[in-house]
């Protein structure tokens, strides 16, 4: 289905927002203003953006430890995201979650998760909830090539297929599980091939082509809304940065491989296409980027001006009242 | 009053609560016929034997506005789902800043006596007590089972209902009229003045039997059943120990870092209670071994009324 120019520009804006947000998060992490660990999604922006562009606001997604892109693509507020990274009480999780546990249930973003494959059963439960409600909602599980080798992937897809849950399983195959190559751990080079074992559609798409991701998701969403059950979409992509932003972390990936993927930059490719179609001008693109940078600066200011949580907060929210 | 079994009392709680709240649904690897007949196979689903996935599904459905009831069957199988229990269910409300509620009931059976050896005879509730973010009950009578389980299903948090294998056929009085039992309220199963036995699940009944024997020796025994492990009724435990000055704790689990250790600490850490204690605390627990199969060994490993009587005499002799 052809998208309006406005919608395509919006998708571009989301991709660039993810990139600029993470560039800033990485800088601020290295400056010591953001704590713990930050996993960057840079290079993979087309996946979250293309998938979420095919969803309705009340559809649900679950993320991974590399969650900023999914948050932004589902419509999360940058200020509350940045405040969470900064550990402030105005953050999405009141400063208790950090980068690895950002969630906004009000927009259907069921959380980033520190356990590889941990989110897959949880979002499958959201899919069961959607089926029981019968209002046509769908749920999307984002996960990586690493998670596709873990039990919860297989258990969840089997249940979703057996019960025809309105699920879309999106594998972001960035070719490495932390520092271990998918080539050395996947029995079949394509995760999508596993769909055959569950009698559901499985497709491989260019994860650096946002429109290809969008089209595949559209098809899977239509199937899910039509009570025909789950689909598996494997997006071949690549992260430009190390597994985490920690300086000195192990990264065995050859520079030539990283460079080759950077030449397939999902944002540059999309911008070039949009310019060819006359959908955006160079000036408008620059202006968009400046707007995004200003918005991110605002989010940082919001975070810095927000207080840290009161110490009493440490014992709050262990249980719901 | 009519009498029904511990297992029937649990089923009654489920039926009543599933009638009451259409957002409840039931997942287990065997779907109970009675529930399927009344509520249909959409709300009462038999799942693959994939406890990790079905536990995670409960978390996601709960976060999406439902109130799932999960039966892991034997507690052994909960270990297959440990990531979802420990890393997800227990922490998700807190980790996400309390954004949404996760009302989940996990039912599971614990304890020995069925000659099913090490894996299927465990009582590992203290492993879960050690986590923050899970509530848990451990009923000892059909009355408590029904009343507590109804409260659990209505609770807005993940709650584990540990249910004693040995008590499944145990019959007791359960009123026809609706009632609930609150979490965090201990129950004095027998009043006494010389010594307090805090007993859990099946050992409540063994403690009551021991109390009869001891009564003939002139020892007045009080039996306190905490009924819920999280929240634990610390006030009731301390009050009972302050009254009698002596404490024996009877638990079918092993002693090491067990619920019994926690209960001992609750009493002895409190200055007022400690000041009134006339003797050291005594724990009557299983031996700290995997549970063996052959009846002679299994019965030797688990504590019973005789061990409790011996434990009480020891404390009384100090």
The minimum CA-CA distance between A105 and chain B, rounded to whole Å, is 7
- Residues in B whose CB is inside 8 Å of some CB of A read 25, 42-43, 45, 47-48, 50, 52-66, 68, 83-84, 87-88, 92-103, 132-133, 135, 156-157
Residue with the two structure tokens 């953001």: A34
Burial grade of A183 (CB within 10 A; 0-12, 13-18, 19 or more):
exposed
Residue A40, token pair as written in the block:
């960057």
Residue A149, token pair as written in the block:
């080798």
A65 and A147 Cβ atoms separated by less than 8 Å: no
Compare CB distances from B100 to A105, A132, A316 and report the shortest one's residue: A105
Q: A320, B101: Cβ pair inside 8 Å? A: yes
In terms of CA atoms, which chain B residue is nearest residue A97?
B95
Question: What is the CA angle A208-A212-A216, rounded to 5?
Answer: 125
Q: Tell me the C-alpha distance between A127 and A121, whole Å.
A: 10
Contacts of B159 (CB under 8 A, 6+ apart): B104, B105, B106, B134, B135, B136, B137, B152, B183
Mutate one of B42, B52, B53, B84 to test the A interface: name it (highest A CB count within 10 A).
Answer: B53
- Please provide the DSSP assignment of A98-144 as one string: -GGG--BGGGTB----SSTTTHHHHHHHHHHHHHHHTS---EEEEEE
User: From the CB of residue A311, how many other CB atoms can be counted at a distance below 10 Å?
Assistant: 7
B120 is catalytic: yes
Q: Tell me the C-alpha distance between A60 and B71, whole Å.
A: 26
Contacts of A242 (CB under 8 A, 6+ apart): A249, A250, A251
For residue A296, the model assigns a pLDDT of 98
A170 within a domain of the structure (yes/no): yes
Put the strands of the sheet holding A139-144 in their side by side order: A60-62, A139-144, A167-173, A231-236, A202-206
Please, what are the domains in chain B?
3-173 (3.40.50.970), 187-316 (3.40.50.920)
Q: CB under 8 Å, gap of 24 or more: what pairs does A247-256 form?
A: A247/A30, A250/A179, A251/A179, A252/A179, A252/A181, A253/A176
A48 and A64 Cβ atoms separated by less than 8 Å: no
In terms of CA atoms, which chain A residue is nearest residue B103?
A320
- Please provide the DSSP assignment of A159-207 as one string: HHHHTT-SEEEEEEE-SEETTEEHHHH-SSS-GGGGGGGGTS-EEEEET
Compare CB distances from A125 to B52, B61, B103 and report the shortest one's residue: B61
Which residue among B93, B120, B288, B300 is the active-site one? B120
* Residue spans of alpha helices (H) in chain A: 5-30, 45-52, 68-74, 78-85, 119-133, 151-162, 182-185, 210-225, 255-262, 266-276, 282-305
A91 contact residues in B (CB cutoff 8 A) = 97
Q: Tell me the C-alpha distance between B311 and A291, whole Å.
A: 75
Residue A51, token pair as written in the block:
């998938």
A318 within a domain of the structure (yes/no): no
B277 and B241 Cβ atoms separated by less than 8 Å: yes
Compare CB distances from B61 to A129, A151, A163 and report the shortest one's residue: A129
The answer, yes or no, to whether the previous bond of B231 is cis (omega within 30 of 0) is: yes
Q: Tell me the C-alpha distance between A293 and A24, whole Å.
A: 9
Mutate one of A129, A138, A157, A163 to test the B interface: name it (highest B CB count within 10 A).
Answer: A129
Residue A275's Cβ-side half-sphere holds a number of Cα atoms within 13 Å equal to 12
Q: Tell me the C-alpha distance between A49 and A185, whole Å.
A: 27
Mean pLDDT of B127-146: 98
For residue A2, the model assigns a pLDDT of 78
A248 within a domain of the structure (yes/no): no
A311 within a domain of the structure (yes/no): no
For residue A250, the model assigns a pLDDT of 78
In terms of CA atoms, which chain A residue is nearest residue B230?
A319
Residue B285, token pair as written in the block:
């627990």
- Distances in Å between the alpha carbon of B37 and those of A13, A133, B15, B42, B161? 53, 20, 11, 11, 24
Residue B20, token pair as written in the block:
């009451």
First to last CA, chain A: 47
For residue B309, the model assigns a pLDDT of 98
* Chain length of chain B: 318
The minimum CA-CA distance between A154 and chain B, rounded to whole Å, is 9
B64 contact residues in A (CB cutoff 8 A) = 60, 125-126, 129-130
Contacts of A85 (CB under 8 A, 6+ apart): A25, A28, A29, A34, A38, A91, A98, A99, A303
In terms of CA atoms, which chain B residue is nearest residue A321?
B156
**What is the per-residue burial (b if ≥16 Cβ within 10 Å, else e) of A133-143?**
eeeebbbbbbb
Size of interface A-B (CB pairs under 8 A): 142
A270 within a domain of the structure (yes/no): yes
* Chain length of chain A: 321
The minimum CA-CA distance between A314 and chain B, rounded to whole Å, is 9
A118 contact residues in B (CB cutoff 8 A) = 56, 83-84, 87-88
- Distances in Å between the alpha carbon of A158 and those of A10, A132, A154, B4, B71? 35, 18, 6, 39, 20
Q: B96, A93: Cβ pair inside 8 Å? A: yes
A312 within a domain of the structure (yes/no): no
A14 within a domain of the structure (yes/no): yes
Q: A316, B98: Cβ pair inside 8 Å? A: yes
For residue A1, the model assigns a pLDDT of 55
Model confidence at B205, pLDDT cuts 50, 70, 90, reads: very high
Q: What share of chain B is helix, strand, coil (3-state, %, to 5)?
A: 45, 20, 35
The residues with which A206 forms a beta bridge, in sequence order, are: A236
For residue A126, the model assigns a pLDDT of 98
A319 and B159 Cβ atoms separated by less than 8 Å: no
Compare CB distances from B97 to A94, A123, A124 and report the shortest one's residue: A94
In terms of CA atoms, which chain B residue is nearest residue A89?
B97
**What is the per-residue burial (b if ≥16 Cβ within 10 Å, else e) of B137-157?**
bbbbbbbbbbbbbbbbbbbbb
Residue B267, token pair as written in the block:
């009493």
For residue B318, the model assigns a pLDDT of 85
A129 within a domain of the structure (yes/no): yes
Q: So what's the ipTM on this one? A: 0.96
Q: Tell me the C-alpha distance between A232 and A103, whole Å.
A: 23
Q: Tell me the C-alpha distance between B32 and B40, whole Å.
A: 11
Total domains in chain A come to 1
Compare CB distances from A126 to B53, B64, B133 and report the shortest one's residue: B64
Each residue's pLDDT, cut to its tens digit, for chain A (321 residues) gives 579 999 999 999 999 999 999 999 999 999 999 999 999 999 999 999 999 999 999 999 999 999 999 999 999 999 999 999 999 999 999 999 999 999 999 999 999 999 999 999 999 999 999 999 999 999 999 999 999 999 999 999 999 999 999 999 999 999 999 999 999 999 999 999 999 999 999 999 999 999 999 999 999 999 999 999 999 999 999 999 999 998 887 789 999 999 999 999 999 999 999 999 999 999 999 999 999 999 999 999 999 999 999 999 999 999 998
Mutate one of A106, A113, A117, A125 to test the B interface: name it (highest B CB count within 10 A).
Answer: A125
Q: Which residue range forms the structural domain that includes residue A82?
A: 5-243+253-305
B135 contact residues in A (CB cutoff 8 A) = 319
Mean pLDDT of B200-213: 98
Q: Tell me the C-alpha distance between A104 and B33, whole Å.
A: 38
Q: Tell me the C-alpha distance between A193 and B72, whole Å.
A: 32
Task: Give the CATH number for residue A38.
Answer: 3.40.50.970
């Amino acid at each position: 289905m052809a998208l309006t120019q406005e919608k395509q520009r919006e998708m571009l804006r989301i991709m660039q927002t993810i990139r600029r947000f993470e560039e800033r998060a990485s800088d601020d992490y290295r400056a010591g203003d953001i704590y713990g660990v930050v996993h960057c999604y840079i290079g993979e922006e087309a996946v979250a953006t293309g998938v979420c562009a095919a969803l309705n606001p009340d559809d649900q997604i679950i993320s991974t430890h590399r969650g900023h892109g999914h948050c932004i693509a589902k419509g999360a507020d940058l200020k509350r995201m940045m405040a969470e990274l900064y550990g402030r009480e105005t953050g999405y999780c009141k400063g208790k979650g950090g980068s690895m546990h950002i969630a906004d249930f009000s927009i259907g973003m069921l959380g980033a998760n520190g356990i590889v494959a941990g989110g897959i059963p949880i979002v499958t439960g959201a899919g069961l909830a959607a089926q029981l409600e019968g209002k046509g909602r769908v749920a999307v599980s984002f996960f990586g090539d690493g998670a596709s080798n873990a039990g919860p992937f297989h258990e969840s897809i089997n249940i979703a297929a057996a019960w025809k849950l309105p699920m879309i399983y999106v594998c972001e195959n960035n070719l490495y599980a932390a520092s271990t190559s998918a080539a050395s751990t996947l029995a079949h080079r394509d995760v999508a091939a596993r769909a055959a074992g569950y009698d559901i559609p499985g497709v491989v798409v260019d994860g650096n082509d946002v429109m290809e991701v969008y089209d595949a998701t559209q098809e899977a969403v239509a199937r899910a809304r039509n009570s025909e059950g789950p689909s598996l979409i494997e997006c071949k992509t690549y992260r430009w940065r190390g597994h985490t932003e920690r300086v000195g972390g192990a990264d065995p990936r050859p520079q030539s491989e990283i460079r080759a993927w950077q030449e397939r930059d999902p944002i540059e490719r999309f911008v070039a296409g949009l310019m060819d179609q006359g959908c955006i001008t160079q000036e408008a693109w620059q202006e968009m980027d400046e707007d995004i940078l200003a918005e991110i600066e605002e989010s940082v200011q919001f975070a810095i001006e927000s207080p840290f949580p009161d110490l009493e907060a440490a014992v709050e929210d262990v249980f719901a009242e | 009053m009519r009498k029904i079994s511990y297992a029937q009392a649990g089923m009654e709680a489920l039926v009543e609560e599933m009638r009451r709240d259409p957002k409840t649904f039931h997942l287990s690897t065997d779907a109970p016929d009675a529930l399927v007949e009344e509520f249909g196979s959409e709300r009462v689903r038999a799942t693959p034997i994939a406890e990790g996935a079905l536990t995670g599904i409960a978390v996601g459905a709960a976060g999406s506005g439902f109130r799932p009831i999960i039966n892991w069957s034997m507690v052994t199988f909960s270990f297959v789902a440990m990531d979802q229990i420990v890393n997800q269910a227990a922490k998700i409300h807190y980790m996400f800043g309390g954004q949404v509620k996760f009302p989940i009931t996990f039912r599971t059976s614990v304890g020995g006596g069925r000659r099913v050896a090490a894996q299927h005879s465990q009582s590992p509730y203290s492993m879960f007590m050690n986590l923050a973010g899970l509530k848990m009950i451990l009923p000892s009578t059909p009355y408590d089972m029904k009343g507590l389980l109804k409260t659990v299903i209505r609770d807005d948090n993940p709650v584990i209902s540990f249910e004693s294998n040995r008590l499944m056929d145990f019959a007791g009085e359960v009123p026809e009229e609706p009632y609930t039992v609150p979490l965090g309220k201990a129950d004095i199963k027998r009043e006494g003045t010389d010594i307090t036995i805090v007993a859990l699940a099946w050992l409540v009944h063994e403690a009551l039997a021991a109390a009869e024997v001891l009564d003939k020796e002139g020892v007045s025994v009080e039996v306190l059943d905490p009924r819920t492990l999280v929240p634990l009724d610390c006030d009731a435990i301390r009050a009972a120990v302050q009254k009698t000055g002596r404490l024996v704790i009877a638990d079918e689990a092993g002693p090491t870092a067990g619920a019994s250790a926690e209960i001992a600490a609750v009493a002895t850490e409190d200055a007022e209670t400690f000041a009134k204690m006339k003797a050291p605390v005594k724990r009557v627990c299983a031996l700290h071994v995997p549970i063996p199969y052959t009846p002679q060994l299994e019965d030797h490993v688990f504590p019973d009324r005789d061990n409790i009587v011996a434990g009480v005499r020891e404390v009384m002799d100090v």
